[in-house]
Structure 1
Amino acid sequence: MRQGRRLTTVLAGAAMLLGAVTGTAWADPAPPPVPPTAMNVPGPAVPLPAPVALPEMAAALGGSIHPGVQVRTDGAQCTANFVFTGGGKVYLGQAAHCSGTGAATETDGCTSQSLPLGTPVAISGASKPGKLAYNSWLAMQGAKETDPDACAYNDLALVEIDPADVASVSPTVPFFGGPTGLDTDGLATGERVASYGNSELRGVAALSPKVGAALGDTGNGWSHPVLTLSPGVPGDSGSGFLDAGGRAVGVLSTLNFLPAPGSNGVGDLARMLAYARSHGAPGDLALALGGPFRSLGLV
């Protein structure tokens, strides 16, 4: 869900990724969900480094740069998902499509164009812009990726935090806490989820925390449709999703009409991180752990 250039298109009624209707979603029509009986089929192992808790970030819990802050790439506003480390640097995650440059309906990551690596990204709470350090769309195009599920759902970018701002980074998700780890087995139908969106369009801060339920897996495990109250809206793109145990499970990418009106498509974070590690991101790229998780049973 992207503001800036594409928000104007949305208000005019044209299609846009997570911002306007094109067939069954605010995005290019995605492959239809697999039948419920085939959902949640375990995918291949995705080896990843263990999540890390860095002392400099532990001291910054409640810092000004954290999951859920607004990020702007060439004027387009999205929402950051989680904090990552790798190669001795600290990164903030956002959706790859937040730096897209093509038409509003160009949402296939293997063909859609993006701003280049090194592009400045304004980060709320930071004293200096970050810079685009990895983008799954660019990575897939460089690798000549042919997997249709990866092309449709691999939607992750990493924004390198300027060294001057690292001490202001907190990996803790507002309101909910966590992440407590990385989810690697997808989402079963009915499993509870939580997210923190921060779109400027929402206008009511109390609606930023969202809880809901998963509708299973689709795209051979690359994506998880979820239904939350309230749903993600344009500007929430890139928001992180947590499972019922506080583990980071995905990144908000689309607003769908199927399998349920108002549901969101959430890209699988474990798969996207595994792809990133083997396609240009640091080999030790890892999720940074946050503070104590607030049980969804208390929300």
Structure 2
Amino acid sequence: MRLVAAALVLAVGAIGWVAAPPPDATVAWAPAGSAPVHPGVQLLNVGAQCTAGFVVVDSGHIFLEEAAHCLSIGTPRGAEGDGCTAESLPLGTPVDIAGAAHRGTLAYSAWIAMRLAREADPDLCAFNDLALVALDPRDYPLVNPSVPVWGGPVGLAPQGIRSGEAVFGYGSSELGLGLGVLAPRQGQSIGDAGHGWSHDVVTAPPGTLGDSGSPFLDPQGAALGPLASIEVSPVPGSNGIGDLARELAYVRAHSRLRRAQLATGTEPFTGHR
């Protein structure tokens, strides 16, 4: 059983990686050590706190990943939901981004895209949980795509991850009480779900409410995907991680963001040390 919403409601080898093409030359990243906007910052929308995933670029525009279920309507954030039928806040919904001087806006939601496409594949309906928040161009100089602590991503993991391999994540749930020591997490994959659309992982500490969308890297530092769910079986406390390669392919096929691609980090991956 999976709890889809991990939002906090407030009162190349066998696995390999594919290097993402460089973003447009107009994008100049802020230094990683001082950039206030990066993977893992908090996002706030309509009473729900979630966590930003990897940075995505398209034609000179910059986006932060968010879990689509964080913007759901009528589906309890903490209960199972079907992304093909669940209602979502509309595109253009403002999103508060920690560290940014201006609000971002919802530019893409897999839940909206699947409903419009009348998607019927049960694996996609259950696990395609990606949203993209467009940053205000005035905030572009504040952004760095590197994952704090771990560095990377070095590219995109196109083939998922094998059971037993290491994973590295970074979350920003308010349940962490601002303790930075709880933000980085490390663990291993324990298998797939949805024919590869989701990857189950166990980490210390585990992802919890408010960590939805947080970025996870594979053993080589490639972007595996965003945290999407808290699992209660078969391994209580494990998390479901979306498959970013598949989710971005869906973005390109079902939205105007035809060139959406992962922005690679400026900092080297250090998780393998």
Q: TM-score if structure 2 supplies the norm length?
A: 0.90
Comparing 231-240 with 97-106, which one deviates more in the overlay? 97-106
Distance change (3 Å), C-alpha of 1:113 and 1:57: same
Select the residue among 32, 38, 61 that pairs with 1:61.
32
Q: Aligned-pair distance for 1:202?
A: 1.4
Residues 23-38 of structure 1 aligned to structure 2 (within 5 Å): none
Structure 1 stretches of 5 or more lacking a match?
9-40, 43-47
In structure 2, stretches of 5+ residues that fail to align are: 1-5
Q: Take 1:87 and 1:144, find their aligned partners in 2: how far apart are those partners?
A: 28
Cα separation, 2, equivalents of 1:99 and 1:197: 18
- Aligned residue among 5, 8, 21 for 1:3: 8
Query: Matched residues in 1 for 2:74 and 2:23: separation?
Result: 37
Q: 1:231, 1:245 → 2: CA distance?
A: 21
Q: Does 1:80 align with 2:45?
A: no
The 2-side partners of 1:150 and 1:213 are apart by: 23
Question: What SS does the corresponding residue of 1:64 show, helix, strand or coil?
Answer: coil
Question: Shift of the alpha carbon at 1:205?
Answer: 1.6
Offset at 1:216? 2.0
Q: Describe the shift of the 1:116–1:106 C-alpha distance in structure 2 as closer, same or farther (beyond 3 A).
A: farther
Select the structure that is richer in strand: 2
2:202 equivalent in structure 1: 227
Equivalences, count: 259
Distance (Å, rounded) in 1 between the aligned partners of 2:32 and 2:23 = 11
CA distance in 2, matches of 1:92, 1:288: 10
CA distance in 2, matches of 1:263, 1:202: 17
Q: Are 2:144 and 1:186 equivalent residues in the alignment?
A: no
Tell me the distance in 1 between the aligned counterparts of 2:19 and 2:90.
Answer: 27
Match of 2:191 among 204, 210, 216: 216
Change (3 A) 1:57 1:258: farther
Which of these residues, 44, 50, 72, is aligned with residue 20 of structure 2?
50
**RMSD over aligned Cα atoms:** 1.9
**C-alpha contact (below 8 Å) 1:67/1:240 kept by paired residues:** yes
Aligned structure 1 segments of 4 or more residues deviating by more than 3 angstroms:
48-51, 53-60
Answer yes or no: is the 8 Å Cα contact 2:23–2:57 preserved in 1.
no
Q: Could you tell me how far apart the structure 1 residues matched to 2:172 and 2:182 are?
A: 9
Alignment partner, residue 270 of structure 2: 295
Residue identity matched to 1:291: T
Q: Percent identity?
A: 49
